Amino acid sequence: MSHLVSSPIKILDLAALRRAAESFGAQFAEKKTFHSYQGETACDFVIALPTVKYEVGVIKQKDGSYTLSHDPFGYEGSRNNDGHKLVGKFGEGLGLLSQAYSRQVVLTKAKSRGFCVQEKKLANGQIRLQLISV
């Protein structure tokens, strides 16, 4: 039985993904497998949280982009299955990690083009970025 879930976001900037992962206290590293319910699954990089056994795999696609894959399976009290901790930190479907990645991409591109960025966190947890020409 497979528990692996792929995030719909297309990763094009690994440096931005690294910064996004680190903003959650996670480590981003080059590694050939990530840990899930199935054991070790092939990948190119991993995002790992301290004290969590399961990891997020960063997998290169044929077009040169990357996708994120993880196993959300787990429950409190389980010593071996702790994918729920990834969901708790990165959101359902890695939505919070995807948002943090998108934020990093926008900040990098905006600053390189001479914009200042104002950021506001909304009540629903989303963020709004406003680019201001200087």
Rg (CA), the chain: 16
- Which residue, 54, 52, 55, 53, is CA-closest to 44? 55
% pLDDT > 90, the chain: 83
107/115 Cα distance (integer angstroms): 9
Integer angstrom CA distances of residue 39 from 58, 82, 105? 16, 13, 32
| pLDDT digit string, tens, across residues 87-119 | 999 999 999 999 999 999 999 999 999 999 999
Domain ranges, ordered by start, for the chain: 5-106
